[in-house]
Amino acid sequence: MKQLNEDIKSGTMKQVYLLWGEEAYLRRQYRDRLRDALAGGDTMNCHYFEGKGIVPGEIIDLAETLPFLAERRVIVLENSGLLKKGGETLAEYIKDMAETAYLVFVETEIDKRSRLYKEIKAAGRIAEFAVQDMGTLRRWIAGLAAKEKKGITDEDIRYFLEKTGTDMENIRAELEKLFCYTMGRARITAADMDAVCVRRVTNQIFDMIHAIADRKQKRALELYYDLLALKEPPMRILFLIARQFNLLLQVKECRKKGCDNHTTAVRTGLRDFLIGKYAAQAARFETEDLRKALRDCVEAEERVKTGKMNDVLAVELLIVAYSTAGT
């Protein structure tokens, strides 16, 4: 990203760029900045294509067409899939492209072995936008709050991220709600977050499993019915319950082996700051109970798929079975 920023700032542009990675918010931000830097507000000679139906030959014909009263013809290709398959024609073109043509590829996933990737790397600039680490997200949130003249503690930022997850677009949207809600006040608190921020479904599932562990059947079922009211499909809820039990089992096994939080995070795919929370919940279950819960989730899915039981009832009975006192 540093080199990309330098290109935009200096105005010394490459003819071909690739912006890729899981972080959609940053991808779109830099796509727009790069497009503006290249086209300078010229909409007549700036073209946007999206999806896997893009025909490379048509893109080349357009690139070979001289721009109208301008120095550049800018072509943005987003989610084309050409960096995984079918990009050979454009790869060959990049070797000797028109001096006035500028190509910007924007992709979530790529294959670094593809010929197109290799040609872009040789001729242009590649920037990867991975999911940001917690330190970066904390600084970003604190910076956005400071611009709004709002104070927020590190502890409350951590709580906020537990609610929103690490998707920057979702974070930005939830922050905007908080800024409006706290208008006239200088500090954002956890109570404000509880009042206006939308909890992720995975958080609801975490709370449901917690209620099950505490044998609070009424609370566990309330959370389940809330998810159904939000139009969450029962089979997706079942999948998330199984996923949660599986994560708890993995965390428990890592703890038995003496793994620290970072190692456990790497092995489970969880964020470092969540490990303590998951370890505490895992400690409420025996290892064999977690294994049995996973088997029961599989059996519940099978009963639904074979038509032996209604999906809503299958998940409800699973929750009741594991939240009944004495089980």
Q: Kindly report, residue by residue over 193-241, the tens digit of the pLDDT.
A: 989 887 777 778 888 888 888 888 999 999 899 888 878 899 999 998 9
Mean predicted confidence (pLDDT) in 65-87: 93
User: Roughly what angle, to the nearest 10 degrees, separates helices 168-181 and 134-147?
Assistant: 30
The percent of residues in the chain predicted with pLDDT above 90, rounded, is 69
List pLDDT tens digits, range 7-40: 898 888 999 999 999 898 999 999 999 999 999 8
The percent of residues in the chain predicted with pLDDT above 70, rounded, is 99
Q: Is the model's pLDDT at 326 over the cut of 60?
A: no
Contact in structure between 126 and 20 (CB atoms under 8 Å): yes
- What pLDDT band is residue 50 in, cutting at 50, 70 and 90? very high
Beta strands in 72-203 (DSSP E): 73-78, 101-107, 125-128
Give me the count of residues in the chain.
Answer: 327
Q: Is the model's pLDDT at 165 over the cut of 60?
A: yes
Distance CA 38, CA 241 (A): 48
- Nearest CA-CA partner of 26 in 114, 137, 119: 137
Facing residues of 101 across strands?
73
Integer CA distances (angstroms), 164 to 28, 87, 175, 272, in order: 20, 36, 10, 16
Distance CA 1, CA 89 (A): 27
The pLDDT value recorded for residue 66 is 93
Distance CA 75, CA 217 (A): 57
Q: Which two tokens stand for residue 28?
A: 């779109």
Contact in structure between 63 and 75 (CB atoms under 8 Å): yes
Contact in structure between 73 and 100 (CB atoms under 8 Å): yes
The pLDDT value recorded for residue 206 is 82
List pLDDT tens digits, range 245-272: 999 999 999 999 999 988 998 899 887 7
